[in-house]
A and B are shown apart, each in its own frame.
Chain A
Amino acid sequence: MRVNWKTYNPGEFFDELISSPGYARKPARRLASYLRSLTHEELLEKKTAAELAIKTMGISFTVYSDAGNIDREWPFDIIPRVIAQKEWDQTNRGLKQRLRALNCFIHDIYNDQKVFKDKLIPRELILNSGNFRKQCVGVKPKFDVWAHICGTDLIKDTDGKFYVLEDNLRVPSGVSYMLENRRVTKRVFPELFENYYDIQPVTEYPAQLLETLSAISPRKLDSPEVVVLTPGIFNSAYFEHSYLAQRMGAELVEGGDLVVEKDKVFMRTIDGLSQVDVIYRRIDDLFLDPEAFNKDSVLGVSGLFKSWLKGNVALANAPGAGVADDKIIYTYVPEIIKYYLDEDPILPNVPSFLCVDRKQRQHVLQNLDKLVIKPANESGGYGMLIGPQASKKELAEFARRIKADPRNYMAQPLIALSTVPVLGERVVEPRHVDLRPFVLQADKSYVTAGGLTRVAMVKGSYVVNSSQGGGSKDTWIIGDN
Chain B
Amino acid sequence: MLLSRVAERVYWQARYLERVENTARLLNVFSGLLLDLPSGTKLGWHTLVQITGTEALFDSSHKQASERSVVRFLLSEKNGYSILDLLALTRENARTTREIMPTEAFEQINNLYFFARENVNQGVSRGSRYEFLETVIASCQQISGLMAGTMSRDAAYSFVRLGRSLERADMTTRIVDVGSGNLLPSLSGKATESEAIEPYENILWMNILRSQSAYQMYRQHVRYRINAEDVVKFLLQSEEFPRATAHNLTTLTKVLDRLPNNNKVARQVNKTKRMVRQGNIEEMLSQGLLQFIDELQIEIAAIHHMIAATWFLPNK
How many positions in chain A have a CB within 8 Å of any CB in the partner chain? 27
Query: Residues of B contacting A267 with CB < 8 Å?
Result: 1, 3
Would you call A273 an interface residue if the criterion is a C-beta within 8 Å of the partner chain's C-beta atoms?
A: yes
Q: A270-B314, A272-B314 are in contact. Are A253 and B3 (CB under 8 A)?
A: yes
Is A254 at the interface (CB under 8 A from chain B)? yes
Question: B275 interface residue, CB < 8 Å from A?
Answer: no
Chain B interface size band reads 20 to 34
The answer on a CB contact under 8 Å between A56 and B3 is: no
Which of B33-41, B78-86, B96-104 participates in binding chain A? B96-104
Q: A55-B114, A242-B98, A270-B314 are in contact. Are A251 and B3 (CB under 8 A)?
A: yes
Q: Which residue in A57, A242, A256, A272 is a CB contact (below 8 Å) of B5? A: A256
Task: Tell me if A58 and B1 are in contact (CB < 8 A).
Answer: no
Q: Say yes or no: B98 contacts A246, CB within 8 Å.
A: yes
- For residue B315, CB closer than 8 A to chain A, the reply is yes
**A56:B1 contact, CB within 8 angstroms:** no
A268 to chain B: closest residue by CB: B4
- Residues of chain A within 8 A (CB-CB) of B4 are 257, 268-270
Q: Does A233 contact B (CB under 8 A)?
A: yes
Instruction: List which B63-121 residues lie within 8 A (CB) of chain A.
Output: 92, 95-96, 98-100, 103, 106-107, 110-111, 114
Q: Are A56 and B111 in contact (CB under 8 A)?
A: yes
Is B155 part of the binding interface, using a Cβ–Cβ cutoff of 8 Å?
A: yes
B95, A270: Cβ atoms closer than 8 Å: no
In the complex, chain A residues whose CB is within 8 Å of the CB of B96? 233, 242
A368 at the interface (CB under 8 A from B): no
Contact among B2, B95, B110, B114 with A269 in the assembled complex (CB-CB below 8 Å): B2
Complex contacts, A57 vs chain B, CB 8 Å: 103, 107, 110
- For A244, give the chain B residue with the smallest CB separation: B99
A residues 45-104 touching B (CB-CB < 8 Å) = 55-58
Interface residue B127 (Cβ < 8 Å from any Cβ of A): no
Within 8 A of A (CB), among B1-19: 1-7
Interchain CA distance A57-B109 in the complex, whole Å? 10
**Do B260 and A270 touch (CB < 8 A)?**
yes
Q: Distance in Å from the Cβ of B188 to the closest Cβ of chain A?
A: 48
Verify B98–A243 contact, CB threshold 8 A. yes
Complex Cα spacing A245 to B100, Å:
8
Task: List the count of A-B residue pairs having beta carbons below 8 Å apart.
Answer: 75
Q: Choose one: A58, A245, A254, A272; the contact of B99 (CB below 8 Å).
A: A245
Complex Cα–Cα for A225 and B111 (A): 33
CB distance from B86 to the nearest CB of A (A): 18
Residues of A within 8 Å of B311, CB to CB, are 270
B222 part of interface (Cβ distance < 8 Å): no
Task: Check A58 against B110 for contact (C-beta < 8 Å).
Answer: yes
Q: How far is the CA of A228 from the CA of B100 in the complex (A)?
A: 13
Q: Does B259 contact A (CB under 8 A)?
A: yes
Could you say which of A55, A58, A250, A268 contacts B106, with CB atoms under 8 Å apart? A58
Assess the A269–B107 pair: CB atoms within 8 A: no
A82 to chain B, nearest CB (A): 28
- Give the complex CA separation of A58 and B107 in angstroms: 7
Q: A243 — which chain B residues lie within 8 A by C-beta?
A: 98-99
The answer, yes or no, to whether A259 is at the interface (CB within 8 Å) is: yes
The verdict on A270 contacting B259 (CB below 8 Å), with A58-B106, A58-B107, A256-B5 known, is: yes
**Given A58-B95, A58-B106, A268-B314, A246 contacting B3 (CB threshold 8 A):** no
Q: Tell me the residues in window 98-151 of chain B with beta carbons closer than 8 Å to chain A beta carbons.
A: 98-100, 103, 106-107, 110-111, 114
Residue of B nearest to A71 (CB): B95
Q: Which residue of A lies closest to B155 (CB)?
A: A270
With both chains docked as a complex, state the minimum distance between the C-beta of B251 and any C-beta of chain A, in angstroms.
19
CA of A246 to CA of B94 in the docked complex: distance in angstroms? 13
Interface flag for A118 (CB, 8 Å): no
A251-B99 in contact given A55-B114, A225-B1, A270-B2 (Cβ < 8 Å): yes
Q: Which of B246-276 contact A (CB under 8 A)?
A: 259-261
Identify the closest chain A residue to B316 (Cβ): A268
* A271, B99: Cα distance in complex, Å: 19
Taking Cβ atoms with an 8 Å cutoff, the residues of A that contact B are: 55-58, 225, 228, 233, 242-243, 245-246, 250-254, 256-257, 259, 267-274
Q: Which 6 A-B pairs have the closest CB atoms?
A: A246-B99, A245-B99, A270-B311, A252-B99, A242-B98, A268-B4
Chain B residues engaging chain A, CB cutoff 8 angstroms = 1-7, 92, 95-96, 98-100, 103, 106-107, 110-111, 114, 155, 259-261, 311, 314-316
* 12 contacts across the A-B interface (CB closer than 8 A): A55-B114, A58-B106, A225-B1, A242-B98, A250-B99, A257-B3, A267-B1, A268-B3, A268-B315, A270-B2, A270-B4, A270-B155
| 12 further A-B pairs in the complex, CB-CB below 8 A; given A55-B114, A57-B110, A58-B107 | A242-B95, A243-B98, A251-B3, A252-B6, A253-B3, A257-B4, A268-B4, A268-B314, A269-B3, A271-B2, A272-B260, A274-B1
